[in-house]
Amino acid sequence: MSQNRVDEYRRKFVMALGGTAAAVTVAQGFILREANAAGEVSSRPLDKAVTSDKRWGMLIDVTKLTDGGAGMVEACKKEHGWGNEADSDEAQKTHWARVVKVTDKLTKNSFSLPVMCQHCEQPPCVDVCPTGASMKRADGIVQVNKHLCIGCRYCMMACPYKARSFVHEALHDQKPYSPRGMGTVEACNMCIHRIDNGQLPACVEAAPDAVIFGDLNDPNSTLSKTLKDIGGKQIRADLNLNTGVRYHGI
Ligand code: SF4
């Protein structure tokens, strides 16, 4: 991938962030789908700027994840090309998502779940960011603008989910649709490039029987109806962050 090509995608990325008329160019003609675990699809044309009409979210049924979410994490890694730094020790490596094992101290019962950016309605990372690099898009997706990030890492400290990581090393062979940068902070962006192109996030595609993706604002979406039927817990619900990522079976 040439540098010019990467720059071209970066420009498009930044333009899309603003949700302005520029986003129309990026998104025109694409279809945005909402699908449940069984592959049910409804669609609408996405021919206008991002609005708050929709709020994207997902429900992860941990009881249906046979691998504790490892496949979802691998799909994310492959999609965005993170976590392959050669020289870093494990603690220094980037992670957009990780598998967390939880064990009940009393019963010793344990289970694993994938943890990534929870796409909070009131994101602490956005509150503390001094440059505006941490931002929440109108449709609820929380992300980092690499061009504004100065690498101060305040947002890493503020995130209660340890969902953000710092890029220590020079990056090679970047994915053109997911630009990254040494010296910046990064995290799950719900595969914003896929959503804007009418596809499901990579992790959702990797676990079709366990994850429902959709519009939390639509009471008739499969996601909303399922949440109403079986519930969906937030991690650290006590923080009242109203997360876009919910779990069943934790
Ligand atoms: S590391 Fe970047 S995104 Fe995080 S608070 Fe600092 S400037 Fe904002």
CA nearest to 52, candidates 216, 200, 188, 189 = 216
Cβ count within 10 A of residue 191? 24
The per-residue pLDDT for 84 is 80
Q: What is the mean pLDDT of the chain?
A: 85
Which amino acids bring their CB within 6 angstroms of ligand 1?
128-131, 133-134, 144, 149-155, 185
Stretch 46-62: mean pLDDT, rounded? 90
Overall number of domains in the chain: 1
Structural domain of 134: 3-248
The tokens describing 179, both together, are: 């630009």
pLDDT at 43 over 80: no
Confidence at 88, pLDDT banded by 50, 70, 90: low
pLDDT at 6 over 70: no
CA-to-CA distance for 122 and 244, rounded, in angstroms? 10
State in Å: Cα 45 to ligand 1 middle.
34
Stretch 19-41: mean pLDDT, rounded? 37
| 67: CATH | 3.30.70.20
The amino acid present at 79, given as its one-letter code, is E
Q: Give the nearest ligand 1 atom to 131 CA.
A: 7
How far from chain centre, in Å, is Cα 94? Answer: 14
State in Å: Cα 135 to ligand 1 middle.
10
Q: Which neighbouring-strand residues pair with 30?
A: 46
Q: Give the nearest ligand 1 atom to 166 CA.
A: 1
Bigger pLDDT: 20 vs 100: 100
State in Å: Cα 194 to ligand 1 middle.
24
